[in-house]
Amino acid sequence: MSSLTYEATGIPEEVEAEDPTNRRVELVLGALASVVLLFVAGMVIFVFLKGLPSFTSNGFAWFGAGGNVDQQLADIFNSPANPADYVYELRAWPLLWSTFLISGLSVLIATFISVFASIFIVHFAPAPVRKLIEPVVKFLAAVPSVIYGLIGILVIIPWINEVFITEEMAASVAYVIQLDGSSVLAGVMILTLMILPIMIAIIVDSLRAVPRNWREGALALGVNKWRAVRTVSIRAIRPAIVAAAVLATARALGEAIMLAMVTGSIGFAPNPFDGFLFLFEPSRPLAATIVDGAEGLSVAPFGETMYAFAFILIVSTGILSFVGWAARKSLGRYSIGAR
């Protein structure tokens, strides 16, 4: 870019190339920027190496089910001091399933809600309502996750306990698990709310970018406004909806604090075959498990297991973030790092 400007103003190109200060500045800043890359790579590698013992001791069974994962974690924590006797046995499936379930449900529901909300904001909201909703969405994005967790634990959980969990329900699964309100449902409800602003921001932007020509063309054919938006605009922004969902999934996977407060501290895999009951069972996804285990990081095998979890998280969120970024780039958006 700079060489072009030099040519336009007649200063020979050699001058720019030879300028030592400029070159130095460029190299320094370039190195700084490359540190970002080194950092990301380093993070993935270091976390992997630190968590490696957990993977190697378990092999592929690490991902499988078997036994009570909380008990296994306790055993790991209580390993004898001798490194040769470290316990690593782990079947992480309940945690993985919990992560899929909670993130998946949240993203599904949030996609649905955010599409309708975005259509409302762009096409149907009267001007005063629109001026109100936009700060509302920004507000919801800004609330810290610990506050969402606080409200969850002090308001939503007692509410679920009172309204939904009946004696028979609790009794029917009492042999496996206690139902006390901290549940998948609470987690999904609040997580959906937390990822809505991200999706709404992206979808609103892309709805506004749909060429006016198309919308007017549909209206001029005598199609009512809702139909026109649904059949033309939404169809046109399908890639953006997917990109929004991908980024929201990355966010959902990484949510640790709120879920730790609200879904219960039991590494339990809710069974969908229990019927709707399974929504009320407690659970604990990967990120929340790391938060719960944060104090035990100094115990070697336990810490290494935590790093193993972290590795799974960083790889999955990394891939999702990359895919989301690539998709948004091809759609012409550039991210400001909005969470």
Near other proteins in 265-284, by CB under 8 A: none
Of the candidates 102, 160, 207, 218, which one interacts with other proteins according to CB under 8 A?
A: 218
Q: Is 66 left (phi over 0), alpha (psi -120 to 50) or beta?
A: left
Q: Which residues contact 252 (CB under 8 A, 6 or more apart)?
A: 102, 103, 106, 107, 191, 194, 195
Q: Which stretch binds other proteins (CB under 8 A): 65-73, 84-92, 161-169, 253-261?
A: 253-261
Choose, by CB under 8 A, the member of 52, 109, 151, 331 that binds other proteins.
Answer: 151
Task: Decide if residue 138 touches other proteins (CB under 8 A).
Answer: yes
**Any contact of residue 254 with other proteins (CB under 8 A)?**
yes
Q: Which is nearer to other proteins, 65 or 338 (CB)?
A: 338
Q: Is 333 in the site for other proteins (CB under 8 A)?
A: no
| Cα–Cα distances in angstroms (integers) from residue 85 to residues 80, 82, 279, in the given order | 6, 5, 39
Residue of 80, 83, 104, 217 interacting with other proteins (CB under 8 A): 217
Given 87, 119, 279, 299, the residue binding other proteins (CB under 8 A): 119
Q: Can you list the alpha helix ranges (DSSP code H) found in 2-65?
A: 2-9, 13-18, 20-58
Alpha-helical runs (H) found in 59-92: 69-77
Whether 125 contacts 148, CB under 8 Å: no
| Minimum separation from the CB atom of position 231 to other proteins (A) | 6
At which residue do the structure tokens 């070697």 appear? 300
Of residues 302 through 331, those in contact with other proteins by CB under 8 A are 306-307, 310, 313-314, 317-318, 320-322, 324-326
User: Which residue has 């209206």 as its token pair?
Assistant: 219
Residue 171 contacts other proteins per CB under 8 A: no
Q: Which of 17, 65, 74, 142 binds other proteins (CB under 8 A)?
A: 142
Tell which positions 7-26 bind other proteins, by CB under 8 A: 8-9, 11, 16, 19, 21-22, 25-26
173: phi then psi, degrees, rounded to nearest 5:
-115, 10
Helices and strands in the chain: count of H runs, count of E runs: 17, 0
Question: Which residue number, 61 or 323, has a Cβ lying nearer to other proteins?
Answer: 323
Told to check if 227 binds other proteins by CB under 8 A, we report yes
**Comparison of 250 and 277: residue with beta carbon closer to other proteins:** 250
Three-state DSSP state, 331: coil
Nearer to other proteins, 46 or 276 (CB): 46
Q: Which residues contact 23 (CB under 8 A, 6 or more apart)?
A: 17
